[in-house]
Amino acid sequence: MPYSFYFQAVLLFLGITLITCKRDSDKATPEPSTNPRILRMRLEGIPDNNVRIDQEKHEITITLPDNYTIRRPQVVFTLTPNSRVLSKIGESYEAALINFDFGNLRANTPLVGVAAESSAQQLPANEVVEYKIKIVQPGKLAIRLIPEAGFNTYTIGDRDGFILVGENFYDGSDNTAQLILTRKGGSEGDRFIISSSEREQYIVDAGVTNTQYPVQIRVRLPDKIALLPGEYTLELKKANDRSAVSPDLLVVKKGLITLGTFPNYIIPQCSLNGNEVTIEGLNLFEDSKLEVELKHLDGTILRRKPLRFNRSGTALIFAPGADAKPGHYMMRVLENGQAASTCYRLAVTKTDDQPYITNFGNSNSKTYLPSNDFCNPENPLYIIRNAADGGRFQLFLQTAPMSGGNVLTSLKLVSVGQSRQVVEIPFQVEVYNRAVLDHFTAYFQFPTSVPAGQYRMSVVVTDKSTDRTSESEPFERVIEVR
């Protein structure tokens, strides 16, 4: 075949192709979908090409820029016509403001829905086009303590914990994380793990903005973790296997001595005839030269040295002694002979089934909490007759459980002064049970039949099945009836 004929055939084929084909720009634009859809999502501080929408999977993937620090970015949606966007609230969707919180965002879960504009304001999930949110964090996680004076220290008992600075912290794993604290020079038992989750949020974004440390992570200690004084390394592990080690050491130091298990709510202990008793609290360390001071309502003061200590500083054991007369005592801890704690209550009983009062007072004056009011037994606890919050007390009986129907209980009030007037106020309880503390609580009002004045108070309990009566020792506080 001649070369010129072959060349002419190729040109003819190309010409036919160009005549029969159109450019893409000349094709008809397809009609947009009328089904509710999210067409575009724009987030403050995030480039548009970092937000991808998969319409088949109904998934929005957000790739965060390096060291992204905006916790609650503004968000703008572009939707198909006649559609509206809804927020996942509980198990349904509602027409509410979309609030993206990168400090508390569960990854790869339905969060945003789209529905027709004419639909109801609240819809179940099966009537909404749900979009899952997937966070991608390519940056390296980093943590450290705030590099300023004082921020490298945690004081034992501080409920606010301490603060870490984070980089590339947001990654879609919400609050699920672990912080591992290892005491320098300590033993294997000096390694503590704080586990945080959506339910128990011990490691959370502190919500601090407009500072040079915009991502601040607050770490609080669970009650079960008792750090020892010393220096600690810090390693943060997130649920998606991202981890970081702080270049700074956390300095843990002793704090104020506190009696009672944090947050200061336990039934005060009782000593039978002055025998050993365990006192719980914080910062009760053996090397602190501690003493326990007991003050009886008659003014008698006893000082006792602890016999043993818990290594973690959360308990000590001491004995009031055989010379400690029965009664309710004001108790506090001394350090180097000086008051080092607030005051609390300790009961000394004659028998193991003698009742003792653990708290009594208005709802605004809870006498089971350690406070300076305990330090003065003569400081009256006032009661307003027939007031809505008139009387509240909790009675603990060291006895076998008795059904409420077989028990008679009453308050015995003896007036302060020479008249020694006695008033008894019956009250009811349901069940006495050593294991369940709530069953020792009774609520009632002081009737107007009780004369105004100051009284010493005790509790009288009678088991109707045996006619056996037990009476507590007088309460250490004066009761003033108004």
Question: What does each of the 482 residues of the chain score in pLDDT, given as a tens digit?
Answer: 444 444 444 333 334 343 344 444 444 444 445 689 999 999 999 999 999 999 999 999 999 999 999 988 999 999 999 999 998 888 889 887 677 778 766 655 668 899 999 888 899 989 999 999 888 999 999 999 999 999 999 999 999 999 999 999 988 776 689 999 999 987 877 999 999 987 888 998 888 878 899 999 999 999 889 999 999 999 999 988 899 999 999 999 999 998 875 444 455 678 999 999 998 889 999 999 999 999 998 889 999 999 999 999 999 999 999 999 999 998 999 999 999 988 888 899 998 878 888 777 655 555 555 566 667 766 777 787 776 554 455 555 555 555 555 677 888 999 998 788 999 988 766 544 443 333 355 666 778 888 999 999 998 888 777 888 889 999 888 888 88
Per-residue model confidence as pLDDT tens digits over 6-59: 444 433 333 434 334 444 444 444 444 568 999 999 999 999 999 999 999 999
Any bridge partners for residue 51, and if so which? Answer: 62
Residue 345: predicted pLDDT: 83
Distance CA 1, CA 6 (A): 7
User: What pLDDT, on a 0 to 100 scale, did the predictor assign at position 17?
Assistant: 40
The HSE-up count of residue 48 (CA atoms within 13 Å, CB side) is 5
DSSP of 133-194, one letter per residue?
A: EEEE--SPPEEEE-SSTTTTEEETT-TT-EEEEEES--SSBTT-EEEEEEETT--GGGEEEE
Q: How far is CA 164 from the centre of its chain?
A: 18
How much is the pLDDT for 267? 53
The CA dihedral of 416, 420, 425, 431, to the nearest 10 degrees, is 80
Spatial CB neighbours of 9, under 8 Å, sequence gap ≥ 6: none
> What separation in angstroms does the CA of 355 have from each of 285, 295, 377, 448, 458?
32, 20, 20, 27, 9
Pairing of strands 407-415, 453-463: antiparallel
The residue among 146, 233, 231 whose CA lies nearest residue 193 is 233
Could you tell me the domains of the chain?
A: 38-136 (2.60.40.2340), 142-253 (2.60.40), 258-349 (2.60.40.10), 356-481 (2.60.40)
Question: Structure pTM?
Answer: 0.77
Element (H, E) at 330: strand 327-335
> What 8-state DSSP symbol labels residue 420?
-
Q: Which residues contact 229 (CB under 8 A, 6 or more apart)?
A: 156, 252, 253, 254, 285
Q: Is the peptide bond before 263 cis (omega within 30 degrees of 0)?
A: yes
